Amino acid sequence: MSDAYDFDDDFDPSAAFELPEELQIGDDENVMPAVQPGVAPQSITAPPAMIADELPAFGYADVDVDVIKTEDPLELEEQTYPSSLSGVDQPVPSISIRAFCERPDTVSLIQTSAEDRRLSRAHIKASLGGLPEAIEYYHDQNTPNLILVESGMRGQALFEQLEELANVCDPGTKVVIIGAANDIDLYRELIRRGISDYLVPPLNSLQLIRSISDQFVDPAQPFAGKVTAFIGAKGGVGASTLAHNTAWQISEGAKTGTTIMDLDLSFGTVGLDFNQDSNSNIGDALDDPDRVDDVLLERLLTKCTEHLSLFTAPATLDREWDLDPSAYETVISHVRASVPHIILDLPHVWSNWVKTTLFAADEIVIVASPDLACLRNAKNLYDLAKSTRINDAAPKIVVNQVGVPKRPEIPIKDFADALGAEPVLVLPFEPQIFGQAANNGQMVQEIKADSNAAEGLAHLARLLTGHDCEQRKKGLFEKILGRG
């Protein structure tokens, strides 16, 4: 076997994974401040009438999310996102949105935004014409839930046309203006007159989606947990094992509420891995998703630890689970409204519901082993996810089971080069630890907390949560008293 896989006690999968401070994205001082709930905007005198002769260059403020390459192929500095996604965690509900723009660039931006997973349930149409076209169109039409209007006007001319639009709008219709001037006085006056939001270029898809989301997220339930989907590049690479161990690491290391949803309905192993047997499972929720509420979830979920709950799979072959993707979406939405972290354990199949569920997740983890079939499949998944989810971070790649005795393997450097992305974690082949954990219904950390695998999983949990997920070691008195 090659010396490249001679892992010894010095193997530290997390040593080179810190994100340098200079790569952190700061707040843009020029961005228009958001309206603070409960704070009334100041009453001001409207600015003098002004019509912009020419709108400023539209511009796209998207940040490059490509992986940062380092000299050592095993070193990776954490990927950066375009601005925080905290304001667009929840998918926008099934609403109608109509946009009237003054520039083709704006139409293109809205059409691109409509393809984002967060707007998948909304019905969006964009065209040219601006405010005059919107006023003319809705003289004889019912207005949608949201009207987006681009206008280069300011002052009295703008207010007069908005008044005309208000006269043809149905009650409950919201209006968002895409303007030309970063003018706080204009912004406050528009809000005072009932405009829901005022956006100015440069504008990107996430900013637009965030504005739309802010108008329709239920203020009584603004919370939405983070959904991370694990999928294997092929069967047998350990995706389920890593998903379960990472969820346990998050819940017990960070003491944060976590739920594992085992979506391998016929062959799922989350019940076995945690030594839990339950008469209720996720199949009961998927069969009738419209019945799912907090009470039913409480009955169906298996409480594993104080911070970890399991949605076990039926794991029987007495039926075929041919369900609509919307059933999975509905159940996941209910779960994420009640817990900070949701780990989806997806089966290695490719169907409409798997694709929809995978690409709707906030984060994707692709698990592969260093062989040719995994390389091909992982690249296909990675490339499709990047092209489909243009406003999200690229999937995280984990290379597992590296260094199997007598097995020819693709070197990690070659694997990363061919894939076009560095792995966030490389885990050595440690069959004794993983085998003992599986047979005992325990996690790797419980078997050997100082193993390479346990340290690597703690690192992966930190990448997904942004928090330290190391399991705290018990002190002497805690061990004596059996606490901690």
DSSP string, 331-367: HHHHHHTT-SEEEEE--S---HHHHHHHHHSSEEEEE
User: The domain spanning residue 147 has which CATH number?
Assistant: 3.40.50.2300
Token reading at 260: 């594992």
Residue 55: what pLDDT?
A: 36
Q: Is residue 392 part of a domain?
A: yes
Does 299 reside within a domain?
yes
Do 107 and 167 lie in one domain? The reply is: yes
Distances in Å between the Cα of 355 and the Cα atoms of 234, 259, 298, 344 are 15, 21, 28, 13
325 within some domain: yes
Give me 427's structure tokens.
């885990």
CA 292 to chain centre: 22
| Residue 296 belongs to a domain | yes
| Res 215: pLDDT | 85
Q: What is the CATH number of the domain that holds 234?
A: 3.40.50.300
- Written as six digits, the tokens of 244 are 């379960």
Q: Does residue 477 lie within any of the structural domains?
A: no
Cα–Cα distance measured from residue 463 to residue 170, given in angstroms and rounded to the nearest whole number: 46
Same domain, 414 and 279: yes
Q: Are residues 128 and 181 in the same domain?
A: yes
Instruction: Name the burial class of residue 3, with classes exposed (0-12), middle (13-18) and buried (19+) by CB atoms within 10 angstroms of its CB.
Output: exposed
Residue range 202-226: mean pLDDT, rounded: 80
Tell me: do 173 and 230 sit in the same domain.
Answer: no
Q: How far apart are the C-alpha atoms of 200 and 59, rounded to whole Å?
A: 10
In a domain, 38, yes or no: no
Helix axes 239-253, 452-465, angle to 10 degrees: 70
Residues 293 and 436 in one domain: yes
Cα–Cα distance for residue pair 298/18, rounded to 1 Å: 38
Vertex 373 angle, CA 371 and 376, to 5°: 105
Q: Which of 352, 341, 415 is nearest to 382 (CA)?
A: 415
Instruction: Please tell me whether residues 310 and 381 are part of one structural domain.
Output: yes
Q: For residue range 236-254, what is the model confidence (pLDDT) as tens digits? A: 999 999 999 999 999 998 8
> Do 172 and 276 sit in the same domain of this protein?
no
Tell me whether residue 8 is in a domain.
Answer: no
In a domain, 464, yes or no: yes
Residues 262 and 157 in one domain: no
For the stretch 173-199, pLDDT in tens is 999 999 888 888 888 888 888 899 999
> Are residues 289 and 318 located together in one domain of the fold?
yes
Q: Is residue 290 exposed (0-12), middle (13-18) or buried (19+ Cβ within 10 Å)?
A: exposed
Beta partners for residue 259, in sequence order: 309, 342
- Which residues, other chains included, contact 380 with Cβ-Cβ below 8 Å and sequence gap of 6+? none
User: For the segment 50-80, what is each residue's pLDDT rounded down to a tens digit?
Assistant: 333 333 333 333 333 333 233 333 333 333 3
More confident residue, 4 or 410: 410
List 367's β-bridge partners, or say none. 232, 398
Domain that holds residue 204: 44-62+91-216
Is the pLDDT confidence value at 165 over 70? yes
Q: Do both 319 and 458 map to the same domain? A: yes
The structural domain count of the chain equals 2
